[in-house]
Structure 1
Amino acid sequence: MRLGIAALVVGYVLSQFYRAFLAVLSPALQADLGATPVQLADASGLWFLIFALAQIPVGYALDRVGPRRTVAVLLAIGGAGGTAVFAGATTPGAISLAMALIGIGCAPVLMSAFYIFARTYPPAVFGTLAGVLIGVGSMGNLGAALPLSLAVEAFGWRGTVWALCALTLVVALVLWRTVQDPPPAPAPEGPGGMREILMRPAMWAVFAMLLVNYAPSGAIRGLWVGPYGAQVLGLDAAGIGALTLAMGLAMVVGNFAYGPMDRVFGTRKGVVLWGNLIGVACLAVLWVWPAPGYLAAMLLLAAVGCFGMSFPLLMAHGRAFFPPHLVGRGVTLCNLFAIGGVGLFQMLSGRVYDAARAPGAPPEAAFATLFGFFALVLAAGCLAYAFSRDRTD
């Protein structure tokens, strides 16, 4: 079981890497394929939307056939296959197709680990285990920053992506060999599946927060931090890599920090709510002061990343309402809202940015509107979540 969990951590590193690597590859894709910022925003958003939609069949598969076959097969076909399409792409449309396939491949990785945690370990430590897993897995965010930019400079973007294709296939094979399925849980008589989960009123405020919680940090780190660093802060490739690295490190710290906070403070709702309100405040500062200088911008973006990592506690909050036979579908439905929100708002962010650009206006004006958009979205989620029912194990 430990070898299987270790392999799932490596798989989650790849998942985090793929959701963020377009921010570094975007200049090369614009130059070689003629991809526009809106097309790249759509491609990145498509990864999240397809990933989110895949949670429904993934949840069913986890409950019915187990995590081993679910994660290994999808990562091999979708993950390795999608990176092969990416490496051979000649048009922006091929990049979108590749990102959709990679999203399918990555969809079961984290949820397979969560399923094993929920079925194998005491409920009280679910948030801590989830935070550690996401924190370690977020090293993929770091790999998609300065190390990726250096690899692209040394081997070109196509050579780098072909190497990622081979690595993804190897990880899928290791998952097939090492992941062990927990014994199936008996299902009681009566209604079940997604309908039973959606009929639980206590979940809807949690779903509202999940929809927006990861959207600002995921979209900014995964797409907008590169253009922001180049256009507003005047950074070169190395400077952008350092900026993305700082935000990625802060996101790693946030995941580790949030995990045990429910046991420290005796509340999940309070920790999630106050952490995200701090994120709203940081985005609001960037809204009214979009060009604060390199150091201030780095600190504010790092804070947005750190305080936007309450996903492990939100998953633990939702997990507390699920019976054992619905754990797979429950955690994947929560993930659908979280990842779907990133995809939805990432696509919307491309339109917001495009609409905010005006001839002759400084570039920071469009980014101010973008940060304001994310601040309002996150504030709305916090307002809905304030009415949630706290639940600890």
Structure 2
Amino acid sequence: MSETVTTSSGHAAYHAASKGWFHGDHRRLGGPEAWLIWVLATTFVVWLFAIQTGYAVVSPDIQQDAGLTIGQIGLAASIYTWVFALVQFFSGALLDRFGPRPLMAIAVAFVAAGAFLYAGTTNFGTLATAQAVLAIGSSFGFVGAGYLGGNWFGAAKYGLMFGLVQTFASLGSAVGQPLILATLDNMSWQQLLVAFGVFGVLLTILFFAFVRNPAPAPGVVVEKPRGNVFGNILRDLGKTFANIRVVLASILAGASFGAMLAVGTLWGPRVMEARGADTDFATVLTALAWLGLAVGAPLANLVSNRWGSRKWPAFYSLIFQALAIALVIYLPTEGQGAALTLMFAIGFFAGGHMLGFTIAGEVVPGSLVGSASAIVNGICFIIGGLLQSIPSQLLPDDADLSDFQAALWLIPVVVVVGAVAALVLPEKKTAAASA
């Protein structure tokens, strides 16, 4: 069992691993070292998001070159999300117990290895293996960045720093898809993925060199984790899952981000191409969705704080997101102009999913913040995987617009379910919420 001591900032004090791995007297919260570590963590998330969302751009080439079906392409995407979700539940708990060093550096190395495997895809088995390796490393990315932001900038700024991570990740995705498309005019998709892998090697070195936790506050005593680590992690996960607010926060966040992930990385471009749009236009539209998420993610917490409520901003965000998704799917063929605004709106209102992390972080002890965040993020990707794989199994190989419309109704329905979860969420007034 690991004992923790809560500091004046409200976060749990750091574990005894910090005395070994986090050697040295590490500097004040919010200082230059804090910003360096946060920038590296955010760069990791932007990079892995670029690989993840770039799948929408390179999947047609992979399908053709490897002789795969659209069902296999969809299944490979869902393998990523399912492995990610499974490992995700343990990644947050591991960060709670041992901190980010060397766990975060190892995670970056996994993503780099996955990119190299991805580049070598010649059949479905290779692609599935690459997606699994990528997912293992990526499971530490977003939650790890939020964990580091909370530790290095204080509990009061946890939600805001998490939202900013999502903003930069979404901006990277918005810019990354058109850049990937343009880059593919000058190099093969295999060469592009090798370049991603080489960048990952450099980032791994930087993580080993710089990323660590701040030292405990003066006078705070930390103790080494004792007992069966795996058993303790399962116990912590059980405690977190037992909190109904964490469960409802996970459902509302999962419905919102899962739908965004499905639309932004796979189905958005395919629907637009079925309407007659060329690949360039379809890519711009999905980039707009990620740009909308970049704007909406930090605003969700700011609006929530101003409103003095978590549930109502989350509820309205989900309702408007469901409406925008339904309109994109069921617009007439000639409605491509309206799709520009609607795709931005899908991402913008998906920013409300960040409130799921804020809610979960506020209703558990500081020692379980990583576990709570990991559960929320894991549910996000489980739902995203289902919304990628289920429609792909319902589509014929040569799907037209009516086929997509018949298969994709599930996505807005799931978002409405998330809105119901937000509606029944017990409101918890906090200092942050009433500020």
Q: Match for residue 38 of structure 2?
A: 5
Q: Match for residue 80 of structure 1?
A: 112
Match of 1:148 among 173, 180, 199: 180
Structure 1 residues 150 and 326: CA distance shift in structure 2, 3 A: same
**In 2: Cα distance, 1:12 partner to 1:55 partner:** 14
The unaligned stretches of length 5 or more in structure 1 are none
Which entry has the higher C-alpha Rg, 1 or 2? 2
RMSD: 2.4
Q: Match for residue 167 of structure 1?
A: 199
Q: Match for residue 105 of structure 1?
A: 137
CA deviation vs aligned residue, 1:158-182 (integer Å, no higher than 9, x gap): 1111101101121122122121224
Match of 1:208 among 233, 241, 251: 251
Q: Match for residue 390 of structure 1?
A: 427
Once the two structures are overlaid, the 10-residue window that deviates more, 266-275 or 135-144, is 135-144
**In 2: Cα distance, 1:93 partner to 1:140 partner:** 29
Structure 1 residues 229 and 201: CA distance shift in structure 2, 3 A: closer
Structure 2 residue identity aligned to 1:180: R
Q: Match for residue 336 of structure 1?
A: 378
Q: Match for residue 68 of structure 1?
A: 101
Structure 2 residue identity aligned to 1:12: V
Q: Match for residue 164 of structure 2?
A: 132
Instruction: Give the superposition deviation at 1:57.
Output: 2.4
Matched, 1:115 2:157: no
**TM-score, scaled to structure 2:** 0.83
Q: Match for residue 125 of structure 2?
A: 93
Structure 1 residues 29 and 330: CA distance shift in structure 2, 3 A: same
Q: Match for residue 313 of structure 2?
A: 271
Instruction: Give the superposition deviation at 1:231.
Output: 1.9
Q: Match for residue 20 of structure 1?
A: 53
Q: Match for residue 47 of structure 1?
A: 80
**In 2: Cα distance, 1:388 partner to 1:313 partner:** 12
Match of 1:35 among 68, 73, 77: 68
Equivalent residues of 1:119, 1:324 under 8 A apart: no
- The SS at the match of 2:146 is helix
**In 2: Cα distance, 1:83 partner to 1:340 partner:** 22
Equivalent residues of 1:290, 1:368 under 8 A apart: no
Instruction: Give the superposition deviation at 1:309.
Output: 2.1
Instruction: Give the superposition deviation at 1:318.
Output: 0.8
**In 1: Cα distance, 2:294 partner to 2:38 partner:** 19
Equivalent residues of 2:300, 2:354 under 8 A apart: yes
**In 1: Cα distance, 2:337 partner to 2:186 partner:** 28
**In 2: Cα distance, 1:292 partner to 1:283 partner:** 17
Q: Match for residue 219 of structure 2?
A: none
**TM-score, scaled to structure 1:** 0.91
Match of 1:366 among 403, 410, 421: 403
Equivalent pairs, count: 386
Instruction: Give the superposition deviation at 1:120.
Output: 4.2
**In 1: Cα distance, 2:43 partner to 2:376 partner:** 22
| Greater helix content | 1
- The SS at the match of 1:136 is helix
Structure 1 residues 230 and 287: CA distance shift in structure 2, 3 A: closer
**In 1: Cα distance, 2:283 partner to 2:386 partner:** 26
The unaligned stretches of length 5 or more in structure 2 are 1-33, 217-221, 227-231
- The SS at the match of 1:309 is helix
Instruction: Give the superposition deviation at 1:317.
Output: 0.8
Instruction: Give the superposition deviation at 1:192.
Output: 4.9
